[in-house]
Amino acid sequence: MSNDAPDPKLILLNDGTGHFKVGGTHRDPKWPTRNAAVGDLARAGSFSIANWTGQGKPWGPVTASIRAVAVADLNGDGHPDIAACPERLGCFVYSNDGKGDFSNGIQFQEPEALPHSMIAADLNVVGRPELAVGYVNSPGRNLFQ
């Protein structure tokens, strides 16, 4: 996915050889989408795009711009969870109940933070993912284990 408001959010598909083509667009071009992540959020064998939903649930109010987002099983229950940072609200982890419904979120960063990117990976090789967040106004750091 690429682009920010007011341009269309393009979904770019890899043909398997490292070449990409436009596979469609996502949501309203006026929405300030900065980041998105992909995962099988409903455990249905199909992938969903995790970013601002348009209804404000679960990751921020409808006016929020999601500055960073990642999808991973962060609590070890076998279901892909979402970590998201709505602009000027902080960063949160939203636990997946296994049916694609998410908790209200656990805050792990204060609203003053200006995240620019986030990735979930097993950075310290202990068998579970951590979140690494890069910031506009400060050095990145590992915030959630």
Residue pair 123/140 in contact by the 8 Å Cβ criterion: no
Amino acid at 78: G
pLDDT for the residue 77:
94
Amino acid at 18: G
The separation between CA 112 and the C-alpha centre of its own chain, rounded to angstroms, equals: 19
Express each pLDDT in 114-135 by its tens digit.
788 888 999 889 999 999 888 8
What is the pLDDT averaged over residues 1-24? 69
Region of residue 101 (left: phi > 0; alpha: psi -120 to 50; beta: else): beta
Dihedral sign (CA 73, 76, 79, 83): negative
Distances, alpha carbon 37 to alpha carbons 2, 71, 137, in Å? 11, 6, 23
Express each pLDDT in 64-73 by its tens digit.
677 788 889 9
